[in-house]
Amino acid sequence: MNNAIAGFSKLSKDEKIDWIANEYFADPAEATALIKKYWNSDQKLQQLHDEFIENTITNFYIPLGIAPNFLINGKYKTIPMAIEESSVVAAAAKSAKFWSTRGGFKATVLNTEKIGQVHFIYKGDVSRLEHFFAQTKATFFSTTEAITKNMQKRGGGILDIELRDKTELMANYFQLHVTFETKDSMGANFINSCLEQFSKTLKEEALAFELFSDEEKQIEVVMSILSNYVPNCLVRVEVSCPVEALAEKHIEYPSEFAEKFVRAVRIAEVEPYRAVTHNKGVMNGIDAVVLATGNDFRAIEAGIHAYASKSGQYSSLSHAKIENGIFSFWMEIPLALGTVGGLTSLHPLVKLSMEMLEKPSAKELMEIVAVAGLAQNFAALRSLTTTGIQEGHMKMHLNNIMNQYQATTEERVLIKQFFKTNSIAHSTVVGFIEDLRK
């Protein structure tokens, strides 16, 4: 069997599916039927999805869930979450309800600065390069006026351009380090367009700079690209209440719970092996909302995990303390999000999610996403320090096991009834199903 194919992208959608079905599947007709089963019956909607990416053959569904009762800065929000993992939405909703009677979530955007860089090689006298940059800086702004005009009307644009000497890291390596404000757009295309113009201006102006030698004039631009590390695009989110107010069904002794909770967070601050899983819980909440609102969760993940390593050791994103009888739980995270452009204006369910969130600005979306992350982290830590993480998770996972073994309606009733009072594990559920069928 020859798995290589030339000109695949030029094939029609049906031709692509025919090739895949016949090349990789024992039953091509069955594979084709499954692929087409997930097509949308609305042809215009399907075409829209087909054109989001390349070589599309079908749609890959992820559930869109809802977590209500989030009290954020005194206003209630219902948060959409696109995720396939059991218990995440339930845990977020449970946290939301818990904190709604204890003052809710407080969220504040600290800064919204985005970053882009032109990476270049310069072989020459550094003082002459610095002189050249000081003389040329205004030209960088003027040559991008056509690109920045509309952004400036919305209150955004280029904030500053710096020349950075990176020769201690790599021979002859320098940067134009540029900061941007992109308002309600994530701004990737805007930033990259500005940076590419900067690289042209850099090379052209260097050739005309009289103080440069012939070698110095030959500046080599390696690449021009935005950075997904945005440590100055920050949002802070927190919850707090008197320690005794933490009491509820699973928290009989609130002071003991609070102390154990703070220690659990402290472990994640000092132990990277724990911090990774701890922060994964934060990202369960963040990624689900980022995906539901049509933003780039890969960029968000990369930037946040880099931020978690800013001290030189990977550490917890969230923090907790008890001070003067008050329990506080908070985090500051970088979030470069957009509410206009990209999928936010194209994907129908993204539009629905944005409307559900009452059409937030980029700053408001930063607050909402950060709240979802902290809520998810609180839920995980509360379970870990009280009943254990598996009890609630396995209850949610029970449905997946029943679906996997195609349990009938009658079997589902008996399974759920039995596991109300018995410990849930994959093997015990499967064993119970097999016993029912004997």
Instruction: State which residues form the domain around 429.
Output: 398-436
Write out the chain in H/E/C secondary structure. CCCCCCCHHHCCHHHHHHHHHHHHCCCHHHHHHHHHHCCCCCHHHHHHHHCCCCCCCCCCCCCEEEEEEEEECCEEEEEEEECCCCCHHHHHHHHHHHHHCCCCEEEEECCCCEEEEEEEECCCCHHHHHHHHHHHHHHHHHCCHHHHHHHHHCCCEEEEEEEEECCCCCCCEEEEEEEEECCCECCHHHHHHHHHHHHHHHHHHHHHCCCCCHHHHCCEEEEEEEECCCCCCEEEEEEEEEHHHHCECCECCHHHHHHHHHHHHHHHHHCHHHHHHHHHHHHHHHHHHHHHCCCCHHHHHHHHHHHCCCCCCCCCCEEEEEECCEEEEEEEEECCCCCECHHHHCCHHHHHHHHHCCCCCHHHHHHHHHHHHHHHHHHHHHHHHCCCHHHHHHHHHHHHHHHHCCCCHHHHHHHHHHCCCCCCCHHHHHHHHHHHCC
- Establish if 288 belongs to a structural domain: yes
pLDDT, residue 59, reads: 97
In tens, the pLDDT along 253-293 reads 999 999 999 999 999 999 999 999 999 999 999 999 999 99
Residue 250 located in a structural domain: yes
Same domain, 259 and 375: yes
Catalytic choice (113, 181, 296, 364): 296
Task: Give pLDDT, residue 125.
Answer: 97
Determine contact, residues 260/160, Cβ cutoff 8 Å. no
From 16, 77, 278, 393, the catalytic residue: 393
Across the range 93-121, mean pLDDT stands at 98
% of the chain exceeding 70 in pLDDT: 97
Is 280 known to be catalytic? yes
Is 238 annotated as catalytic? no
Q: What is the pLDDT of residues 140-182, one digit of tens each?
A: 999 999 999 999 999 999 999 999 999 999 999 999 999 999 9
The verdict on 247 and 321 lying in the same domain is: yes
| Annotated catalytic residue 393 | yes
| Four-residue CA torsion sign, 420, 423, 426, 430 | negative
Evaluate whether residue 68 is within a structural domain: no
Considering the domain architecture, whether residues 319 and 403 belong to the same structural domain is answered as: no
| Residue 131 forms part of a structural domain | yes
278 shares a domain with 263:
yes
Residue 34 in this model has a pLDDT that exceeds 90: yes
| Residue 183 covered by a domain | yes
Residues 379 and 406 in one domain: no
What pLDDT is recorded for position 194?
98
* Tens of pLDDT, residues 296-312: 999 999 999 999 999 99
- Give the pLDDT band of residue 238 (cuts 50, 70, 90): very high
Q: What is the pLDDT of residues 264-273, one digit of tens each?
A: 999 999 999 9
Q: Is residue 178 one of the residues assigned to a domain?
A: yes
Q: What is the pLDDT of residue 391?
A: 57
Catalytic residue among 49, 131, 137, 280: 280
**Do 134 and 175 share a structural domain?**
yes
Where among 227, 248, 274 does a domain terminate? 227
Q: Do residue 422 and residue 380 come from a single domain?
A: no
What's the CATH number where 92 sits? Answer: 3.90.770.10
Selected catalytic residue, list 18, 50, 85, 411 = 85
Is 123 a known active-site residue?
no
Whether residue 370 is found in the same domain as residue 413: no
Q: At what angle do helices 389-404 and 362-385 cross, to 10 degrees?
A: 100
What integer pLDDT is reported at residue 393 of this predicted model?
54
Number of domains in the chain: 4
- Is 302 in the same domain as 266? yes
Region 39-53: what's the mean pLDDT? Answer: 95
Whether 195 and 249 share a structural domain: no
Segment 394-418 mean pLDDT:
82
Q: What is the mean pLDDT of the chain?
A: 94
**203 shares a domain with 142:** yes
Question: Between the CA of residue 259 and those of 196, 329, 398, 400, what are the distances in Å?
Answer: 52, 12, 32, 35
In a domain, 207, yes or no: yes
292 with 352, same domain: the answer is: yes
